[in-house]
Amino acid sequence: MFKDRVVVVTGAASGIGKQTATEFARQAAQVVVADIDERRGAAVVADMRNDGLDAVFVRTDLTSEADCAHLIATATFGRLDVLVNNAGIEISTPLHEMSEQEWDRLVDTNLKSMFLCSKHALRHMVGATNGAIVNVCSVSGLVAWPGIAAYNATKGGVMMLTKSLAVDYAPYNIRANCVCPSIIDTPMTDTSIGNDASVKEAKAKLNPIGRLGTPEDVANAILFLASEKSSFITGAALTVDGGYTAI
Ligand SMILES: NC(=O)c1ccc[n+]([C@@H]2O[C@H](COP(=O)([O-])OP(=O)(O)OC[C@H]3O[C@@H](n4cnc5c(N)ncnc54)[C@H](O)[C@@H]3O)[C@@H](O)[C@H]2O)c1
């Protein structure tokens, strides 16, 4: 479905991004894995290449405009079809105890990075036949998840950035959508809630479907929103949450 398409996935050294990059490559895309973690990013690409897939790693600090510009310039070779803005972090310090530095780190990683990569990607996508941007938001862009106010605020920003991109760039045949996962079983989740099976089971019960999401669940939704099968869908927020926000 993505034969010869150039796809950039940020935060692709781990979790949702790693799975998404791998799925795109399995669908014959030329994938660019971008991450600040050089060791894990290079290992992901080495694994993909061992499986005969087409991928390169570009070490990128997504909070830096110079790095984002370099990523997109390196990636494109004159062509960029899909940008997946996935990288993100969670800091769960209560708001009244959160330092200015923690706030800035969250906003820079979760929201500014998406502005910077989109800005440079759009310059290549405008004038091409079509393009797709998929942002990884969260159910916390739709409802306030308790105890992570600053994270929720960044994801609210991702939601409106997505809708604004959709509206402003539809005339250029560029679509922008986001996915809104509830808790997904990734290294981020191991850090935030711990790796204890009973805690994970309790969290899983918050979803009517009764399990945590997997990186595959989210990657499937991202590939759909990047594909021509969703050609009339833009500005949408697709929940991948086992029914969490349906209650
Ligand atoms: N895991 C969940 O439960 C969940 C739920 C909803 C939304 N999300 C969102 O999904 C996205 C991916 O999360 P995940 O669970 O796969 O996390 P993860 O921690 O497994 O992976 C995140 C990746 O982003 C990279 N990264 C962080 N800061 C970076 C920077 N400045 N520059 C470049 N790369 C950077 C990390 O190195 C890591 O490889 C995030 O945006 C997160 O907010 C996750």
Kindly give the distance from the C-alpha atom of residue 207 to the centroid of ligand 1, in angstroms, as a whole number. 21
Ligand 1 site, residue 242, Cβ cutoff 6 A = no
Overall domain count for the chain: 1
The number of the ligand 1 atom at minimal distance from the alpha carbon of 37 is 37
Q: What is the mean pLDDT of the chain?
A: 96
Q: In what order do the strands lie in the sheet with 82-85?
A: 55-59, 30-35, 6-10, 82-85, 131-136, 174-181, 237-240
Confidence at residue 45, expressed as pLDDT on a 0 to 100 scale: 98
What is the 3 state secondary structure string of 89-117?
CCCCCCHHHCCHHHHHHHHHHHHHHHHHH
Residue 87, helix vs strand vs coil:
coil
Ligand 1 site, residue 16, Cβ cutoff 6 A = yes
Residue 134 placed within a domain = yes
Largest Cα separation within the chain, whole Å, is: 52
Residue 1 placed within a domain = no
* pLDDT of residue 56 exceeding 90: yes
pLDDT in tens, 67-97: 999 999 998 767 899 999 999 999 999 999 9
Helix 15-26 and helix 215-226: axis angle, to 10°? 50
pLDDT in tens, 148-161: 999 999 999 999 99
Ligand 1 site, residue 89, Cβ cutoff 6 A = yes
Kindly give the distance from the C-alpha atom of residue 130 to the centroid of ligand 1, in angstroms, as a whole number. 27
Token pair for 143: 């409802």
* pLDDT of residue 99 exceeding 90: yes
Kindly give the distance from the C-alpha atom of residue 8 to the centroid of ligand 1, in angstroms, as a whole number. 15
* pLDDT of residue 13 exceeding 90: yes
The more confidently predicted of residues 191 and 241 is 241
Residue 114 placed within a domain = yes
Ligand 1 site, residue 71, Cβ cutoff 6 A = no
- Sign of the Cα torsion 200, 143, 138, 240 reads positive
Residue 153: which CATH number?
3.40.50.720
Ligand 1 site, residue 140, Cβ cutoff 6 A = no
Confidence at residue 128, expressed as pLDDT on a 0 to 100 scale: 83
* pLDDT of residue 142 exceeding 90: yes
Residue 195 pLDDT level (bands cut at 50, 70, 90): confident
Kindly give the distance from the C-alpha atom of residue 127 to the centroid of ligand 1, in angstroms, as a whole number. 31
Distance CA 26, CA 193 (A): 31
Confidence at residue 75, expressed as pLDDT on a 0 to 100 scale: 86
- Sign of the Cα torsion 81, 16, 108, 182 reads positive
**151 flagged as catalytic:** yes
* pTM of this structure: 0.98
| Residue of the CA atom closest to atom 37 of ligand 1 | 37
DSSP state of 52: T
Confidence at residue 152, expressed as pLDDT on a 0 to 100 scale: 98
Ligand 1 site, residue 63, Cβ cutoff 6 A = yes
Kindly give the distance from the C-alpha atom of residue 63 to the centroid of ligand 1, in angstroms, as a whole number. 13
Residue 198 pLDDT level (bands cut at 50, 70, 90): very high
Residue 208 placed within a domain = yes
Host domain of residue 206: 6-246
Confidence at residue 146, expressed as pLDDT on a 0 to 100 scale: 94
Confidence at residue 127, expressed as pLDDT on a 0 to 100 scale: 84
Residue 236 placed within a domain = yes
